[in-house]
Amino acid sequence: MDYQNVIDRIHGQLQDLWGQGRVADYIPALAKVDPRQFGIAVATLDGQEFRTGDAQVCFSIQSISKVFTLAMVTGRIGDDIWKAVGREPSGNPFNSLVQLEYEHGLPRNPFINAGALVVTDRLISLYPHPKDAMLEFVRALCANDDIYYDKEIARSERLNADRNLALAYFMKSFGNIENDVETLLDVYCHQCAISMSCADLARAFLFLSNRGVNPFDGRQVLTVSQAKRLGALMLTCGFYDESGDFAFRAGLPGKSGVGGGIAAYIPGNLAITVWSPELNRHGNSLIGMAALEHFTTDIGNSIF
């Protein structure tokens, strides 16, 4: 399959969509990102890599980090995490508070903010130096020791984290947060501020298409069953209240972030990342969603 040709063509076609979405502005440092950027990277399990556009530019991965923290926590405590977080799509925006009260502080899934905060809370309980551990984990997954936290974005998000603080304190009142909320928010804002390129992220998602094994060092990061479950959650919950539509359009497990990135994969085959900062009204990259729909259509392959 000539993936280079496919992604170059998609890159050329979709630039017409610039101007139809809006860069996330609820975190001031994100609002400063140049909206007219667009990169695509594909990494295959047989070791090939394909890139086009701004595929080497680093951006804030935001909620894509929720996949990494969940992998770290399930890798350590397995099914115990499901006592604290559910596994159903929420049908609500990523930062919604509404379901939490009548569901007694148990978030619907690990990819809405409430669920991700619980997962990060458990990560803090498990790792004495959680921020170092996260970087080490992600660096190993993409075989790149240069991955870093964008401190300006972390600071900016922490200064504008009222809603996430509210979610965390609310869940703590139900006994579903173990650690100090200030510490939790600091770690959470750092995970969102991990800076990576499309090329890094595509490599970092390859372990999911490889039955949980990191292809770069051969380490079993997750069991086959855990990797399957992570993929199922991405398919059903990875795109906020637009998860059904992404599954319908692209047919891939994936995860988006409000930095404009989307990472997705085809089991046994490849991982693909698209980044373009303008978001649609659900908070997903407008061009990224379209690019992945075109990609699976053009190559005639998805998980279905």
Give the footprint of ligand GLU on this chain (CB under 6 A): 62-63, 94-95, 113, 157, 164, 192, 257-258, 283
Q: Considering the candidates 240, 255, 274, 302, report the single residue annotated as catalytic.
A: 240
Least distance to ligand GLU, CB of residue 10, Å: 23
Least distance to ligand GLU, CB of residue 220, Å: 28
Alpha helix ranges (H) inside the chain: 3-14, 28-31, 65-77, 98-102, 113-126, 130-142, 151-159, 162-173, 181-192, 198-204, 206-209, 224-237, 243-250, 286-299
Whether 258 is a known active-site residue: answer: yes
Q: Considering the candidates 209, 258, 274, 302, report the single residue annotated as catalytic.
A: 258
Nearer CB in complex with ligand GLU: 105/283: 283
Whether 63 is a known active-site residue: answer: yes
User: Are 89 and 232 a contacting pair, CB within 8 Å?
Assistant: no
Nearer CB in complex with ligand GLU: 113/302: 113
Nearer CB in complex with ligand GLU: 9/131: 131
Q: Which residues contact 111 (CB under 8 A, 6 or more apart)?
A: 63, 66, 94, 233, 234, 237, 238, 240, 255
Look up residue 17 and give its two tokens.
């969509």
Q: Considering the candidates 188, 195, 221, 302, report the single residue annotated as catalytic.
A: 188
User: Are 24 and 283 a contacting pair, CB within 8 Å?
Assistant: yes
User: Are 28 and 160 a contacting pair, CB within 8 Å?
Assistant: yes
Whether 66 is a known active-site residue: answer: yes
Nearer CB in complex with ligand GLU: 81/258: 258
Least distance to ligand GLU, CB of residue 2, Å: 32
User: Are 207 and 52 a contacting pair, CB within 8 Å?
Assistant: no
Whether 169 is a known active-site residue: answer: no
Least distance to ligand GLU, CB of residue 251, Å: 22
Whether 131 is a known active-site residue: answer: no
Catalytic sites, residue numbers: 63, 66, 188, 240, 258
